[in-house]
Amino acid sequence: MRFKLFLMGAAAVLATSANATDWTGFSGTVTGGYDYSDVKGIANNAYNFGGAANYAIANSGINLQGDADYSENRTQHVPTDTWTTGGAITLRDPMFAVGFNGDYNTTRLFQQRLNYGNYGAFGEWYGLDQLGLNPITLRLRGGGISGTIAGLDRDGGYFGGGATYYVLPQLSLTADASHNNLSNLRWTNFEVGAEYLPVATLPVSISASYVHDNIANLGQTTHSDGLMVRLALHLGEGNSLVDFDRNGPLNARSPQAPIDGLSALNRPL
Taking only the tens place, the pLDDT of each residue in 46-66 is 899 999 999 999 889 999 999
pLDDT tens profile 210-267: 999 998 877 788 888 999 999 999 998 888 999 999 999 998 878 777 776 666 665 5
Segments of 110-219 assigned E as strands:
112-127, 136-149, 152-168, 171-182, 185-196, 204-217
**What is the identity of the amino acid at 61?**
G
Give residues with Cβ within 8 angstroms of 8, minimum separation 6.
none
Helix (H, G, I), strand (E, B) or coil at 170: coil
pLDDT tens profile 70-94: 998 877 666 788 899 999 999 999 8
The confidence score (pLDDT) of residue 9 equals 43
Cα–Cα distance for residue pair 192/71, rounded to 1 Å: 21
Annotated domain spans of the chain: 2-265
Residue by residue, DSSP assigns 32-78 as: EEEEEEEETTEEEEEEEEEEEEEEEPTTT-EEEEEEEEEEEEEETTE
Cα within 13 Å of Cα(210), Cβ side: 3
pTM here is 0.84
**CATH of 2-265 given 3.40.50.1950, 2.40.160.40, 1.10.3720.10, 1.10.540.10:** 2.40.160.40
* DSSP 8-state secondary structure symbol assigned to residue 135: P
- Continuous H helices in 98-250: 241-247
| pLDDT cut 90: percent of the chain above it | 55
**End-to-end C-alpha distance for the chain, whole angstroms:** 21
The confidence score (pLDDT) of residue 20 equals 33
